[in-house]
């Protein structure tokens, strides 16, 4: 399995594990465009629940964390599962902040 196939597998498995016990979670995997996300869609009484919990993309051979609306450290979880820290981009951060955080991420 090449590195990108490995990363696709890790990302899909991580999101599946995240959504396992949540009946309102929708897994959306677009493997052609390398977009992977978990959406929450439903109702809690009269309150509408709709939003992206986690979005991961593969862009330029790197795993981009585009959105994380959870309390989980997604980057750390992906590293534990085998993604090289050098291949993780915190896409929800501005480019200037990403540069500063890149070295901290490498230490995991």
pLDDT at 24: 84
Each residue of 16-48: pLDDT tens digit? Answer: 999 998 888 999 999 999 999 999 998 889 999
What's the CA gap between 51 and 38, in Å, rounded?
Answer: 9
More confident site: 103 or 44: 44
Range 47-63 average pLDDT: 95
**Residue 2 to residues 5, 7, 61: CA-CA distances in angstroms?**
5, 9, 11
More confident site: 4 or 23: 4
11 pLDDT exceeds 80? yes
Range 49-63 average pLDDT: 96
What's the CA gap between 17 and 106, in Å, rounded?
Answer: 25
**What is the DSSP pairing of strand 88-89 with strand 47-59?**
unpaired
What's the CA gap between 70 and 54, in Å, rounded?
Answer: 7
Name the residue ranges covered by the structural domains of the chain.
3-106
pLDDT at 1: 73
CATH 3.40.50.300 fits 3-106, yes or no: no
**What is the DSSP pairing of strand 62-68 with strand 35-44?**
unpaired
Q: 42, 24 in Cβ contact below 8 A? A: yes
């Amino acid at each position: 399995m090449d590195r990108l196939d490995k990363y696709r597998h890790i990302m899909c498995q991580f999101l599946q594990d995240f959504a396992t016990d949540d009946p309102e979670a929708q897994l959306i995997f677009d493997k052609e465009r390398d977009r992977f996300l978990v959406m929450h869609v439903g109702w809690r009484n009269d309150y509408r629940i709709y939003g992206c919990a986690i979005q991961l993309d593969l862009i330029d051979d790197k795993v981009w964390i585009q959105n994380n609306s959870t309390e989980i450290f997604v980057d750390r979880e992906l590293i534990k599962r085998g993604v090289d820290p050098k291949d993780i981009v915190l896409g929800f951060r501005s480019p200037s902040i990403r540069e500063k955080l890149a070295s901290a991420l490498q230490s995991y």
